[in-house]
Amino acid sequence: MESKRQQKFAGVIQEDLAAIFQKEGLNMMPNTLITITKVRVTPDLAIARVFLSFFNTNNAQLALNTIKSHSSELRYKLGARIKDQVRIIPQLEFFIDDTSEYVERMDKIFDKISKEERQPDTE
């Protein structure tokens, strides 16, 4: 369970990183939309785990690796934005958020179940 402080700090990071990706994202990955779905921060606020969703790309893993290769640059830009609000600029760890894929998979399973003929209950 995250504390209010962690949640507030994660919100700040999410907002500022979203602005950075909006400005700089096209330089890193042209024609790809990068969305930050959630940010989780450790209790000491030293590490921020950023979950990303990529649209208009064929290979999400390649896109994630591209973002990871620019992580120090992204951390520097984040630091320039939040330096007056925090003591430590957190290390950034990036992950693919596969929630939408999970939802799609579950929808397909439920559709398949609902289309199957129902067996009469025999007791």
For residue 65 the two structure tokens come to 């690796």
pLDDT recorded at residue 81 = 92
pLDDT recorded at residue 123 = 59
pLDDT recorded at residue 42 = 95
Return the CATH fold of 4-98: GMP Synthetase; Chain A, domain 3 (3.30.300)
> How distant, in Å, are the alpha carbons of 37, 76, 100 from that of 65?
17, 18, 20
pLDDT recorded at residue 118 = 65
For residue 52 the two structure tokens come to 């990303």
Q: What 3-state class would DSSP assign to 48?
A: strand
Reported pTM: 0.79
pLDDT over threshold 70, residue 119:
no
| 47: enclosing H helix or E strand | strand 47-55
pLDDT recorded at residue 1 = 81
C-alpha–C-alpha distance, residues 100 and 108, integer Å: 12
Top mean pLDDT of 26-30, 36-40, 101-105 is at: 36-40
For 62-80, write each residue's pLDDT tens digit. Answer: 989 999 999 999 999 999 9
pLDDT recorded at residue 48 = 96
pLDDT over threshold 80, residue 101:
no
Contacts for 100-103 with beta carbons within 8 Å, 24 or more apart? 100/53
Provide mean pLDDT across the span 88-98. Answer: 92
